[in-house]
């Protein structure tokens, strides 16, 4: 094809692309890029996402609660693996626990490029009370479109993002492109419980590694005026779960004045814990909140004991927004200091804190270099599709990115899901997802390189 023809074709594809994605793309596309992007359409993304959302659900629901049984992602894993196999990927299943296979799909390059992992997870948050899912007719796993939004559990976190990975790769394959570097699609179990059976197992026990990792998890944003975009999370905040306990003296309910009510003591203590601050050094890139607590469970008073006041109360407190430099010891010391101050004001208060059994302390990660891969290539692709520079930020949530990053792999998070989607009636924005898929596809081509230009000419 002549150079002039390539330019005409590129402009044509770019124009058709702009009809579905409200963008202001400026950069010219190569013929290969144009051919790949033409295969990334709203219809294709919707069809794929609507297939992925109900796959293996609700078995793949995986609560963070360490005292609740984990999800079983097997059916979802087989489903996603089949999609990769159909695109020519070699498939391996790696399981630490029965019924929870991680999927590793590999597509060898021509041998002279870097390696890239596109990662996402197979488990989801539990859907909770199905009747609260008013936007999907009471079935949280029934993808339902309203305007530019697709609603269902797992749209934003994270099957909508996983669809972006699959569609970006499928477009590259269907366009006949041979990549220079090795590409792997790694779909993990157990991400919602911070990764012991998933990313930690793959990295520490299975030797998983790559030069670059992009984790397609929610980094999307929407302003009240309707404008939207996606950040690139080049770092994550950490988190931890601790348990605070108050003890008192049980009495008959008729004479509460003669005992010490553990629930009443906890109520006062929680007010102090909710507003406490944590010792930390200021960081260049703070998260969505400063380090702080979130009170997530309180239990006091036993069944069949309404004739008595409670003598014990326990609260589970999440510590979120942890920044580099904070440790399990520093977090416990800060909480101990609050307990000490409260005891000084109330000599009846008996309170203690301990790590919540089974919870992992998740460290914050250091920022990735914005000028190095994969951030540099992803930023460039973003500018080409959306015509502006993406914001780089620290994401205040767990992603498998953390597990790669803490083992010194260049890993970042990027996906169209809303970073801050609602707990029920979860949704993802459709036009944002199409743009994200195009950005991912251009990033893969740029990062891994194209080995041999395909022979056949585009339709
Ligand atoms: Zn997620």
C-alpha 416 to ligand 1 mean position (Å) = 12
C-alpha 195 to ligand 1 mean position (Å) = 11
C-alpha 122 to ligand 1 mean position (Å) = 9
- State the CATH architecture for 3-236+365-452: 3-Layer(aba) Sandwich (3.40)
Topology of domain 238-355, CATH = Alpha-Beta Plaits (3.30.70)
In angstroms, the CA 396 to CA 118 distance is 21
C-alpha 233 to ligand 1 mean position (Å) = 13
Task: Count Cβ neighbours within 10 Å for each residue of 355-368 and write b for 16 or more, e otherwise.
Answer: ebeebbbbbbbebb
> With contact defined as beta carbons under 8 Å apart, do 331 and 363 qualify?
no
Pairing of strands 312-322, 238-247: antiparallel
C-alpha 310 to ligand 1 mean position (Å) = 38
In angstroms, the CA 352 to CA 335 distance is 9
C-alpha 218 to ligand 1 mean position (Å) = 7
Residue 369: is it exposed, middle or buried by C-beta count within 10 angstroms (0-12/13-18/19+)?
exposed
Q: CB-hemisphere CA count at 13 Å for 321?
A: 17
Q: Strand pairing partners for 242? A: 317, 355
Q: In the chain, where does the domain assigned CATH 3.30.70.360 lie?
A: 238-355
pTM, whole model, 2 decimals?
0.92
C-alpha 261 to ligand 1 mean position (Å) = 40
Tell me the DSSP string of 314-371. EEEEEEEEE-TT--HHHHHHHHHHHHHHHHHH-TT-EEEEEEPTTPPPB---PPPPTT
C-alpha 273 to ligand 1 mean position (Å) = 27
Smallest CA-to-CA distance from 392 within 379, 373, 401, 402 is with 379
Q: Strand pairing partners for 213? A: 117, 411
C-alpha 346 to ligand 1 mean position (Å) = 42
Q: In the chain, where does the domain assigned CATH 3.40.630.10 lie?
A: 3-236+365-452
Per-residue pLDDT of the chain (459 residues; tens, 9 = 90+): 444 444 444 444 444 444 344 444 446 899 999 999 999 999 999 999 999 999 999 999 999 999 999 999 999 999 999 999 999 999 999 999 999 999 999 999 998 899 999 999 999 999 999 999 999 999 999 999 999 999 999 999 999 999 999 999 999 999 999 999 999 999 999 999 999 999 999 999 999 999 999 999 999 999 999 999 999 999 999 999 999 999 999 999 999 999 999 999 999 999 999 999 999 999 999 899 999 999 999 999 999 999 999 999 999 999 999 999 999 999 999 999 999 999 999 999 999 999 999 999 999 999 999 999 999 999 999 999 999 999 999 999 999 999 999 999 999 999 999 999 999 999 999 999 999 999 999 999 999 999 965 555 554
Smallest CA-to-CA distance from 169 within 29, 15, 48 is with 48
C-alpha 115 to ligand 1 mean position (Å) = 23
């Amino acid at each position: 094809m002549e150079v002039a023809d390539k330019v005409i074709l590129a402009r044509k594809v770019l124009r058709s692309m702009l009809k579905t994605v409200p963008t202001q793309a400026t950069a010219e596309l190569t013929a290969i890029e144009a051919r790949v992007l033409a295969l990334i359409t709203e219809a294709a993304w919707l069809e794929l996402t609507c297939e992925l959302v109900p796959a293996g659900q609700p078995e793949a629901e995986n609560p963070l609660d360490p005292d609740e049984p984990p999800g079983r992602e097997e059916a979802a894993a087989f489903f996603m693996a089949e999609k990769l196999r159909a695109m020519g990927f070699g498939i391996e299943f790696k399981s630490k626990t029965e019924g929870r296979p991680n999927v590793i799909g590999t597509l060898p390059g021509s041998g002279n490029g870097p390696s890239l992992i596109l990662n996402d997870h197979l488990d989801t948050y539990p859907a909770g009370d199905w009747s609260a899912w008013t936007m999907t007719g009471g079935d949280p796993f029934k993808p339902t479109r309203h305007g530019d939004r697709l609603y269902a559990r797992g749209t934003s976190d994270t099957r909508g993002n996983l669809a972006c990975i699959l569609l970006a790769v499928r477009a590259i394959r269907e366009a006949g492109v041979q990549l220079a570097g090795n590409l792997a699609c790694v779909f993990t179990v157990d991400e919602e419980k911070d990764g012991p059976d998933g990313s930690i197992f793959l990295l520490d026990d299975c030797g998983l590694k790559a030069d670059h990792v992009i984790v397609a998890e929610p980094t999307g944003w929407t302003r009240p005026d309707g404008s939207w975009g996606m950040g690139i999370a080049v770092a994550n905040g950490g988190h931890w779960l601790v348990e605070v306990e108050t003890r008192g003296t049980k009495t008959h309910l008729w004479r509460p004045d003669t005992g010490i009510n553990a629930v009443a003591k906890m109520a006062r203590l929680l007010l102090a814990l909710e507003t406490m601050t944590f010792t930390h050094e200021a960081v260049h890139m703070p998260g969505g909140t400063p380090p702080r607590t979130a009170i997530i469970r309180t239990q006091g008073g036993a069944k069949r004991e309404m004739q008595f006041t409670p003598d014990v109360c326990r609260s589970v407190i999440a510590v979120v927004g942890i920044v580099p430099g904070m440790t399990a010891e520093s977090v416990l010391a800060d909480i101990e200091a609050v307990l000490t101050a409260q005891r000084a004001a109330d000599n009846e208060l008996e309170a203690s804190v301990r790590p919540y059994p089974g919870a992992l302390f998740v460290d914050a990660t250091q920022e990735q270099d914005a000028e190095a891969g994969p951030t540099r290539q992803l930023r460039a692709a973003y500018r080409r599709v959306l015509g502006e520079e993406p914001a780089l930020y620290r994401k205040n949530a767990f992603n498998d990115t953390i597990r790669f990053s803490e083992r010194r792999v260049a890993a970042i998070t990027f996906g169209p899901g809303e970073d801050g989607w609602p707990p029920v009636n979860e949704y993802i924005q459709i036009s944002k997802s199409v743009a994200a898929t195009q950005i991912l596809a251009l990033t893969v081509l740029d990062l891994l390189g194209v080995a041999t230009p395909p022979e056949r000419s585009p339709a």
